[in-house]
Homo-oligomer: A and B are copies of this chain.
């Protein structure tokens, strides 16, 4: 069975070094030096500051046509040249979760072009979306998105997140942390 659950541990050790952590909206999380990403359940080490968990799930909005385009263009994680990464935990408001499915789709894609914008940055920027909201009742975030890209595409990545943050969908984001990382040399 494919691994679906992933953990991100923030602390003093890890294979990804944090260059910058920005609180875009809502409460901060503790400042740490490094992040370890691991598959499956993880116990938080004593010297770590936080552990965020998320699970890969079925797509909630993409149509068949959009899904085919994504699958055709999206790169895998772990490309040797993709030494830059970003971990962006976000939470959406109760107003978002109270919308019906057709209303959420309309905001996300017809108004905000979330899928179309993402497609513009493929295959440069690899992405994996983890869902947290239904892991339990007390998760601090609804989604954790992990991105990987080469240093030459950093400006593209900044442009991608800027476009999404300017969208109607982002009016429903009430907590967001933007964590930029570089892979530690082995």
Identify the A interface with B (CB < 8 A): 1, 3-5, 40, 55, 57-64, 66-67, 97-103, 105, 131, 133-137
Chain A residues touching B, majority SS: loop
Contact B3 A97, beta carbon cutoff 8 Å: no
C-alpha gap A64/B91 in the complex (Å): 23
Assuming the A-B contacts A97-B58, A100-B64, are A135 and B134 also in contact, with contact meaning beta carbons closer than 8 angstroms in the complex? yes
- Closest CB in chain B relative to A5 CB, distance in Å: 5
Number of copies: 2
C-alpha gap A139/B57 in the complex (Å): 13
Assuming the A-B contacts A100-B64, A100-B66, are A1 and B59 also in contact, with contact meaning beta carbons closer than 8 angstroms in the complex? no
Pick the residue among B4, B57, B137 that contacts A5 (CB under 8 A): B137
Contact B101 A55, beta carbon cutoff 8 Å: no
- Closest CB in chain B relative to A56 CB, distance in Å: 9
